[in-house]
Amino acid sequence: MRSTRSIEILCLALATLVLVWSRALSAQLWPVLGLLGIFAAAIVVFRARRFFPHRSRTKLLIESWSMLIFITGVLWFSGKSSSPLLNLYLLPIILSALTLGRMITLLQVAVICICHLLLAAATPGIDVISLTYASSAVGQLAPFLLVAYLTTTLSADITEARERIENLAQTDPLTGLFNLRMFNEIWQRAHGTAERDRSVYALLLIDMDRLKDINDSFGHDAGNSAITLVAQCLQRSIRATDSAARFGGDEFAVLLPGASPEIADAVIKRVRHNVFKTTLDLRSRMIRCSVSIGVVNYPKDGRDMRELLSIADRNMYRDKELRRAPGAEANA
């Protein structure tokens, strides 16, 4: 994470600069050089993919606490609780607030308060049980708590906004089902898995019957309600491992990983039943919806995705024609 690396390098650079200016480096050469060298080596290790191949939460946790320990050591050599580098504690607080959440951040603030108390106790001329120290500590530490709270709140808002954007990019806004782009990605992954593992899956293409009649008679809002009703019926009819999507208009698709032709037929019957038994109340009229469904099974019906989609599409329109035949309505 480049921002983390920048924070660590900035922390090291500021600490080195102040330690040199405050003559702490000349007064306690080896302890100070050892502290700076250990933290510099830690930065290199944190960046090495050999040790941390993934940007894991554990890595961020170690980095954040390492920075806190380093800053406490720097304060010890540069004036303890009256050090001009006290505000360096803001760096691990911000890092934790942005990446680790509110509880870890507040825990760090609590540890910083304890470190401040211990540093003050080791500083000549400061009585840590006096009112003077208490008021001074509150003035110095309160901004840390405020920054921690505001930054974690901002981070949570950003995360929520990003999740909403990602959800909008993956789902159909009307029905909440996957959109076409996301469904194609899911299907491609499932197809690759089936090819590799020599497993099976089924694809259903679903088209609503007589949606145009509903739109013409009751308006497009009623049509949208009918589309939403069918989408809800689809979600009730499939397993948690299955995926349903709206292709656009009144067309839907359902992917059934690991489903045999027999399982696919059972899902089709369940979809038809759930759609037909759920009525739509439009201007005091109870309207029943129905759907036409085309099914294709991999690898029984083909191995190429475009070929499978074409077969499913033809099967769906064949089903629609059969349902338009006299007497078909009774068997919906």
DSSP H helices in 122-260: 131-170, 180-197, 211-218, 220-237
Quote the mean pLDDT of the chain.
Answer: 87
Q: What percent of the chain has pLDDT over 70?
A: 92
> What's the pLDDT at 245?
95
Q: Name the strand (E) or helix (H) holding 279.
A: strand 279-282
User: What is the distance between the terminal CA atoms of the chain, rounded to a whole angstrom?
Assistant: 57
* Alpha-carbon separation of residue 42 from 35, 70, 166 (angstroms): 11, 10, 35
Q: Give the tens place of pLDDT for each residue, 10-43.
A: 888 888 888 777 766 667 778 888 988 999 998 8
* Alpha-carbon separation of residue 44 from 41, 52, 84 (angstroms): 5, 11, 27
294 contacts 317 by C-beta, under 8 angstroms:
yes
* Alpha-carbon separation of residue 165 from 159, 162, 171, 215 (angstroms): 10, 5, 10, 30
Domain boundaries along the sequence of the chain: 2-169, 180-331
Q: What is the CATH number of domain 180-331?
A: 3.30.70.270
* DSSP reduced 3-state for 202: strand
Mean pLDDT value across residues 68-76: 92
Q: Give the tens place of pLDDT for each residue, 98-125.
A: 888 889 999 999 999 999 999 999 988 8
User: Whole-model pTM?
Assistant: 0.58
